[in-house]
Structure 1
Amino acid sequence: MDNPIQYCTRAKILLTSHPLYQLANTSMSLGLGAHSHNSNCQMSTEKDHLSYINNVLIKEIEEKLRPDKLLEFEVEHSTGLDGFMSALYTINMKVSDERNKKETSRRLLAKFMKGDEHFRVSSRCYIQFANEILIYSKVIPYYEKVLSEAAAQSTKAECWIPKVYAAKYGKIDGLNSDGTTSNESVLVLEHLKEKGYAMGPRLYLDKPHMLAMVKPLAEYHAMTYALRIKKDKHLEELIKSIVPLPFVETADSTKNFYDPIYKVAFDRFFDYFNRCKKNLISKDNSHDIQLENNINRLYTKYGKTPTKLLEFIRTIHNENDKKYAAILHGDFNRNNVMFKYEGDDSNPKDCKLIDFQELRFGTPCIDLSFAMFMNMERSIRHEFWMDLLKFYHKTLFNTMSEVLKPNDETTKNLLESYSFDDFNNHFTKYAFYGVMICMHFLPWLCGTEEELSLLSQEFERDVHGELFYSTSFAAGGDDANNRIFEIFKHASIMGYMNVI
């Protein structure tokens, strides 16, 4: 059994300081006269955000609070690393509960796009924020409507996410500075800590946490399949509204920030494998021999262009697999979910999804394989892997059945075409996606505070620069490299590298 990684400060930054859980320790109270960042670009600034909250957003929130009344509020700005693509604010409110005739405290989380034009374009902020707002404002509300019309008892779409108070993208009245032509984004959600939610364990997740995490994901994915079987025209409109987020450069894109991220991830893994091959591969072990062949084939085909493999998986080239294309979360990891706990029980009672900025339309493996490879340590991964896949599929199938209520042979046959065996065959073809994300992300989790601060800084300044490359190459050291290698071993044994 693995010894737990000491995930250093990255675990603290990602898992215990997430803004929907608690503000970073560096939070500060702000008023309308707070200092704003200098910018030569016509982007919204901190001053704009605060003015918008005070003059526009609060009025909209008051309407959502009715019949309760807002008595007073204060705004705090999180300055931690968590929001390096977002400006994050907590709105602390005192509210008069008109039903119980008493005062209560409530907290909301407000999220705005930040950065200058170069950063927003190069990091694809405009795509990511537009897609995230689409989920909160259009997709999940429509799923709620469908489930309500189907009189679904066990599946409630509104339970998958925090309550939404505002979700806007585009030219936003009251936010854009004078003369600003840039699109902006505003998202306001309930602060989940108030309802007993918290981030999960700092290291790996155990079986109860993985089950809780996968359940809402399966229900969410199931809605695409059920609506496709129903030939729902609005589903197609939602899918067309998703702005594609490719892993490779396109004719209308700037320099691709995925390229340097995955190039250094591949370079460091192959460097480690070649340095340590004698200790990693036994010539007497058939699985090891197959693994070495798989790694060599990966290097030959994609060693210099890893994003081409990511793009191959994203776009689902096999026609028979396209029925599994779904509206996804896109970045489904433990730092993007919140667990609900009760009393001293360490097992979660519920799980909510947050942060849909990497939203894509594609194979569910983009969500599921990442979550499974990243969040389970080696012994649980080997023991629990198939059980978790079956749980995901059972939840998926049950949700589809709730929506469809199949009572004719055509619908029954279409539903049965999503059998576990068929799903598992699909998963086997595309599950290597999760391995690739771990190649990039695990070293960050294992890095020192200094490495992480520098990586965050260089990601925003110059992700194509030598300093970002060298820091990414070294972060976490061979401890991270070995953990990635163990993930490769599992993927090879399961047949997930056969797609290469």
Structure 2
Amino acid sequence: MPENLDTEQFNADELVPPEWLNAEYLEKILSTYENAPELKVTDLKISPASAQGDHYASVMFRTQVEYTTGKGTFIKPLIVKTMPEEEGHKKDMLKNSFIFETEIGTYSKALPEFERILKQAGDNTKLYATCIFHSVVPRQVMIFEDLVPQGYAVVRGRPIREEEVHAALSKLAKWNAASMKVNNENPAVIDEFKYGLFDLPTLMKDPMVTSGMANFINMLDQVPDLKKYKPHFEKIKDTYLERARAVLTEYRTNPQSDGYYVLCHGDFHLRNMMFKHNKETGVLEDVMLVDFQICNIVPISIDLIYAIYMLMEPEQRWSHGKDMINSYFTVLVDTLKKIGYKGDMPTQEKLWQQIHRHKIYDFFLLTTFLPLILAVKANTFKMNEIIQDPVTRQKAYLMDIYVAEARKLLPLFEQLGYFKDL
């Protein structure tokens, strides 16, 4: 670890790398990747790859590898992503999960095909970082080229800007368009992506999820002007999780003839994307999506609803949220036309119908994930505290910023008719 490292900024399980992550291990991987059997690692520096609150479903390290080959001396910055080895909540929640197999398949199969389709149509959009190595046994590991030296950075310490939201949604639209073409013409390419958020073996039994609605109803009880909404949520408290699961598994279990289905990102929030700005002018040049652990085929509404709660800032949600999703739709349709999509072309009206039809997913995000993301963004609580400590979790539901969001969302839900026919 680097000297003078501020350990409070990082996840505890990323402060000390595992013993197997050493020069010998990376030497074997790089010699194969570079096709240079004579390659020798001469120096290795390892540090945590991300800050508190950036992620939970993995352990990540940033490595700087110095090595020599017959062509000279080189330095390669890498990100090493693996599963938690320390005993505790994180390891228990992720054991026996599908997430590494899903992410490996996304990087090695789906996204390369999507890029090929776009490039064939004259669009050179880059959808993913270069993955130089992946394995499932003897341990689950993925190794990527580090995007930071390439000029990319995670947004921290400030709100995301509207142009950045537009850029992220635009890249998602191109990804979704390519996946619609594949699903229409060659579905076997993405058929393996069957497991999403609600298929994580232990997540749906975790108190963070199972206590969400109770904590939300408790908040409504304590805020006089919101108490009138309590009966609506009392009505669905015993069924909303299974109903949300049904939405996310709709493609597999109950496909709709007029449904739009795409390979989704599944966790489309601010810390799962990196932005590149021009160093001199500050102009936004690109955004790169990362962390594809729960990609699966779902209704097109899922990532969009998620973005409303988990990506956009509150003022963006209320001022331009609908416009930003309509802008996403424009890029989606333009890309579908460009790449020669042969299915029925989506319409904006049906897109919004599907977003509204999946209102139960709004309720899930509002009552479970929104207080977490607001607390992390505001540095009020740490992510692991909210996930693991019931007292901290209850406090998150009473934060002023969360109550303010409820005061705006609940009347909007009422206006949209979301409380009818529950």
Structure 1 residues 338-349: aligned runs within 5 Å: 338-349=274-285
Aligned identity (percent) is 18
The alpha carbon displacement at 1:107 in A equals 1.0
Matched, 1:261 2:208: yes
Structure 1 residues 41-440: aligned runs within 5 Å: 46-50=18-22, 53-63=25-35, 72-78=42-48, 81=52, 82=54, 84-94=56-66, 105-115=75-85, 120=91, 122-124=93-95, 126-148=97-119, 151-156=120-125, 159-169=126-136, 171=137, 176=138, 184-229=139-184, 231-232=185-186, 235-239=187-191, 241-245=192-196, 247=198, 253=201, 256-278=203-225, 280=226, 292=228, 296-301=231-236, 303-316=237-250, 319-320=255-256, 323-404=259-340, 411=342, 414-416=343-345, 418-430=346-358, 432-440=360-368
TM-score of the pair, normalised by structure 1: 0.70
User: Following the alignment from structure 2 to structure 1, what is the Cα–Cα distance between the partners of residues 62 and 159?
Assistant: 28
User: Following the alignment from structure 1 to structure 2, what is the Cα–Cα distance between the partners of residues 260 and 306?
Assistant: 15
The alpha carbon displacement at 1:75 in A equals 3.6
User: Following the alignment from structure 2 to structure 1, what is the Cα–Cα distance between the partners of residues 272 and 55?
Assistant: 13
Q: Which amino acid aligns with 2:150?
A: K
Q: Which amino acid aligns with 2:172?
A: L
Q: Which stretch of the first structure deviates more once superposed, 343-352 or 129-138?
A: 343-352
Secondary structure at the counterpart of residue 266 of structure 1: helix
Secondary structure at the counterpart of residue 106 of structure 1: strand
- Alignment CA distance shift 1:402-1:155 (3 Å): farther
Query: How big is each residue's C-alpha offset from its partner over 1:209-267, in whole Å with a ceiling of 9 and x where there is no partner?
Result: 110111111111112211233x21xx23422x224246379xxx5x5545522232222
Secondary structure at the counterpart of residue 392 of structure 2: helix
Q: Which amino acid aligns with 2:76?
A: R
> How many corresponding residue pairs?
409
Query: How big is each residue's C-alpha offset from its partner over 1:144-202, in whole Å with a ceiling of 9 and x where there is no partner?
Result: 33334xx211253xx12112212333x3xxxx3xxxxxxx3221112111111111253
Compute the RMSD of aligned alpha carbons. Answer: 3.8
Gaps of 5+ in 2: 1-5
- Alignment CA distance shift 1:378-1:83 (3 Å): closer
Structure with more relative contact order (C-alpha pairs < 8 Å, separation 6 or more): 1
User: Following the alignment from structure 1 to structure 2, what is the Cα–Cα distance between the partners of residues 90 and 276?
Assistant: 45
Query: How big is each residue's C-alpha offset from its partner over 1:285-304, in whole Å with a ceiling of 9 and x where there is no partner?
Result: xxxxxxx56x5333212x14
Secondary structure at the counterpart of residue 349 of structure 1: strand
Secondary structure at the counterpart of residue 65 of structure 2: strand
The alpha carbon displacement at 1:95 in A equals 6.8
Q: Which amino acid aligns with 1:446?
A: A
Secondary structure at the counterpart of residue 63 of structure 2: strand
TM-score of the pair, normalised by structure 2: 0.82
Query: How big is each residue's C-alpha offset from its partner over 1:6-43, in whole Å with a ceiling of 9 and x where there is no partner?
Result: xxxxxx999xx7xxxxx88997797xxxxxxxxxxxxx
Does structure 2 conserve the Cα–Cα contact (< 8 Å) formed by 1:330 and 1:367? Answer: yes
